[in-house]
Every structure is written in structure tokens, then in C-alpha cells.
Structure 1
């Protein structure tokens, strides 16, 4: 069974979105949207396809290596169940075979997250999105060689996720059939910095004389904010915290030069 691109079911969500919708419907549609983004953001496209094949065949889903749901995930599980109920009703009411299939992908995505016990990872991803944090990354390495060695040792190498190599963003492109992968440098962070500068004009939360002092400050905090503007020797930096990979970094705002956001029309 071939899974449609996970961007396709977003059209179904978009059709349901309304200016006058209830807060509950907004939460339901938002959760479905983010669940569809979670799978590629965490590099699980192939794992998800195998999961859907197991559902089609009636076999048990492939065993995962994730934590089991805990009591503190009850609220998230309740939200996911409400979302499943909403889209199950929508699937049963539509006469379009194409729409039924796209809705089924949404339902299978939610089932995938629940049955593989990824509540903690999904909740962390939702917090990341809600915080307006920098692009999501699943691992950090000092060198490209270290990243490649890590990929070779994965039972199912991730696909389409981002990793940090020397604090630069790279995308994992994995061809499972050919057994090859690439790690091209991407500029999502530069675009993010430009948009953040436009939406949240820099106001430094702290000032430092040197980059070493700023780095020591960032590393000394038990759990810093996902992002914060700081000043280093008069230059603005973005202090970033990736709790999922226990990584902290400082990025100069000057990286956004050439990626500026067009000003809004007056």
C-alpha cells in the first residue's frame, strides 16, 4: 500500500478550517495538522509506510522501541481520541474515495503515534511548534562523517528529517530501495531567523562581552527557553535550545542577511 505524501491530507484539514470554528475544532484540526508534520520531521516516513502495510494485512504493527504511554499523557491521548472521532465521522460522511483515503492517512498517523508509544516525542514536538522554535532537528554531530556513521548504524535510517552538523542544518535524504542517503546543507534556519526578526524584533534578554561568556551562560541554565535574543559584543544572536537532543547553540542574526522577509503592505 502506497501512502500518499503526508502533505496531501493537509488539504482535507484546510477545507474544514473556518474563521468561525469553535476553539475545540481548531484544536482538533491543529493536532491533525501537526501529527502529519511530526512523521517526516522525525524521519519516520519508511517506518510509517511499514506500519500502514501491517494494518492492511491484518498483522500486528512492527514493534517499536518507544516508551509506553504514561498517566501524564492522558490529556494528549484524550485530544488524539477526539481528533480520531472527528475524522472518523468525516470519513464516513464523504462520498469521495480520494477524500476517504486522505482522511484514513490522518487516522493512521494518529494510530501510529499512539500504538508505538510516541506520546512523549509527539508532546515535545507540539511544544516545539507552539513555542515558535527554530526548525526541528533529530540529532546533532560535530562532523559530517559522524552523522554518516550514525545513519549507517540505524536499523531504519530516517528520511526527510533535519540534523545539525557543526550547528548547520542538513536534511537527510534516504533512498531505501537503493540503500543510499545524502545530507545536503539547507537554509531553513536563515529563513527562520529572517522571519523571526520580522515578527519578533530583537530585544536582548542578556548581554555579553564575548561569545564564550554567552555560551557559558546558555549551558549553565538547567532548562533555557527554546529561543531568546541575546547581545554579544553589540551583535545580536539567537540562543537556541533543542531539548529533544539536549543541544544548545548561538546563531548570529547576520546569518539572515539576504533572506529578509518582504515588509507587509501598508
Structure 2
């Protein structure tokens, strides 16, 4: 039976934020940032239910100490080393926590790190970290031409994803899976519009290439063996963001005009780990 984790993303991120304030050293914050990104990864890839089942399976057994996992392939050895160091640090914080709730939430975070390692998701997590580092457009786990195709794909999944984005005709939709009823909803979301508005403010567009027609731009983007995750281009004098989603091998052109009417809030509190 599919079960959700004990705490949602807000609870675990709040715990990371508290530790961020209490441990200001660069080394400690680097470990906390990796834990934060691991939490985001599980949700961005639609795995709350899968993690919930994994977590439930650990409840009746003693938690193994950090590092007792099958070693990943050599190219991900450094990532596993970082995960091990983060687990060791959070284990210490858990043991020193004053409240039972804080201990439980820190244990959930530890189990999320263990989940990534023991399910062999080093490659996917490494790619997600690159996505964050590039300040790429919102993460998506799949792309479809129609909503019907998306719904059919979701129904075929042994554990349908939840809390993740998919692209339908190059528009963002959010996957909501109700485990009680089995129903799946795909509401349209505007994360891309807000992303474009913020990017325009922080990185005023300068075209890396110019085209007379969209067809020419699409042919250019398709011909790139490994495009940048994002790049400004000009089509008939209008700016577009050329986007490459390497995890799903999808390329898209988003007009900057999509951002019109979407205000970017300023002076927001800084997220833990941002600098």
C-alpha cells in the first residue's frame, strides 16, 4: 500500500532552515544544502509515495550507519561521499536534538538521503543538481503532445508520480495523485511565466542567435547535439527562451511575452543555501 512520508516538504525544509541558522560555517552549510536539494529532488521527480513506502519499510528495522550501501559507479563516488558526509552530520544533529519531533523530522531527512543512495539514483540526482546550478526553467519529468497521452502514461506507472511537473504541448502541468481514490489531476500551472519574468529582470535578454521564423529557430535548436539548458534567441525581433530538458531529451521555445502581467516580487526572504 502506498503511503506518504511522515512530513511534507514544508516540514523538512523548515528543519533545514533552522539548522542553517544555527550552523553558519561554509562546510556545514554545504552539507545542509545537499540535504535541502535531496528533499527537492524527491518531490520534483514525483516520488513522495515511493519514498513513503521506503520509509515505512525502515520503521521496523535498525537504521544502518552512514556509508553502509552498495557503492555507486565510479563517476558518482564523489556524490555518494557527499551524501555520506551529510548523513553523518545530520545523524549528529538528530542525536543532539532537544525535541522528539525534531528528531523525527531529521530522521526523515536522513532516510531521504538513504533512499537516493539505496535506490541507485545517483545519476538522476546528479543531473538534478546540475539543473539547480544552471538556474534552469522549472523541472519536468516527462513531455507529451496531448493531455490524453499524459493521462495514459500516468495510469501505466506502477506508482504514479505525485507533486511533479509534466509538459503538455510545452505548457506546464502539475501532477496531483490522490492515493485514496487513485484519481490523477493535471492542472495547468504558471511557474514558467513567473520564471521568465524573474529571468528577464535578473538577466536582461541578449540573443545568442537570431532567426526570421520560428521554424528556423526550431531547426537550429533540434540540430544542436547538446544545447545549453537555456539561451535567449530572437525570432522576428521577439525574444524567446530556447530550453533543453536533458533528463527527458526535450527542446522547446518559450516566448518572453508569456511573462507579461506576471510581477516579480522583490525583497523576498532568502532561501536557505542561497547566497
**Under TM normalisation by the shorter chain, which class is it?**
over 0.9
CA deviation digits over 1:181-229, x for unaligned, max 9? 1011100000000011011111111111111111111111111111011
Shift, 1:23, TM fit: 2.6
Partner of 2:272: none
Partner of 2:98: 95
Q: Which moved more, 1:13-22 or 1:189-198?
A: 13-22
In 2 relative to 1, CA 12–262 (structure 1 residues): closer, same or farther, beyond 3 Å? closer
Find out whether 1:117 has 2:120 as its counterpart. Answer: yes
Q: Report if aligned partners of 2:176, 2:186 keep a CA contact under 8 Å in 1.
A: yes
Structure 2 Cα separation of the partners of residues 126 and 191 of structure 1? 21
Partner of 2:214: 211
Q: What 5-or-longer segments of structure 1 have no aligned partner?
A: 61-67
Secondary structure at 2:102's aligned position in 1? helix
Q: Report if aligned partners of 1:7, 1:36 keep a CA contact under 8 Å in 2.
A: no
Structure 1 Cα separation of the partners of residues 249 and 53 of structure 2? 29
Structure 1 Cα separation of the partners of residues 182 and 22 of structure 2? 46
Higher RCO (Cα < 8 Å, 6 or more apart): 2
Secondary structure at 2:10's aligned position in 1? coil
Structure 1 Cα separation of the partners of residues 155 and 21 of structure 2? 45
Q: Report if aligned partners of 2:221, 2:251 keep a CA contact under 8 Å in 1.
A: yes
Q: Report if aligned partners of 2:234, 2:240 keep a CA contact under 8 Å in 1.
A: yes
Alignment of 1:218-237 (within 5 A): 218-237=221-240
Q: Report if aligned partners of 1:142, 1:165 keep a CA contact under 8 Å in 2.
A: yes
CA deviation digits over 1:141-174, x for unaligned, max 9? 0000100110111001001110000000000000
Work out which of the residue numbers 237, 241, 258 in structure 2 matches 1:238. Answer: 241
Work out which of the residue numbers 84, 105, 109 in structure 1 matches 2:108. Answer: 105
Q: CA RMSD in A?
A: 2.1
In 2 relative to 1, CA 264–26 (structure 1 residues): closer, same or farther, beyond 3 Å? closer
Shift, 1:99, TM fit: 0.6
Alignment of 1:3-82 (within 5 A): 3-18=6-21, 21-58=24-61, 69-82=72-85
Structure 1 Cα separation of the partners of residues 204 and 263 of structure 2? 13
TM-score normalised to the size of structure 2?
0.90
Partner of 1:159: 162
Q: What 5-or-longer segments of structure 2 have no aligned partner?
A: 64-70, 269-275
CA deviation digits over 1:55-81, x for unaligned, max 9? 013399xxxxxxx82110011001111
Q: Report if aligned partners of 1:34, 1:126 keep a CA contact under 8 Å in 2.
A: yes
Find out whether 1:261 has 2:234 as its counterpart. Answer: no
In 2 relative to 1, CA 159–245 (structure 1 residues): closer, same or farther, beyond 3 Å? same
In 2 relative to 1, CA 114–20 (structure 1 residues): closer, same or farther, beyond 3 Å? closer
Shift, 1:125, TM fit: 0.5
Find out whether 1:86 has 2:112 as its counterpart. Answer: no
Structure 1 Cα separation of the partners of residues 19 and 6 of structure 2? 22
Shift, 1:250, TM fit: 0.2
Work out which of the residue numbers 188, 191, 196 in structure 1 matches 2:199. Answer: 196
Structure 2 Cα separation of the partners of residues 216 and 145 of structure 1? 27
Shift, 1:132, TM fit: 0.1
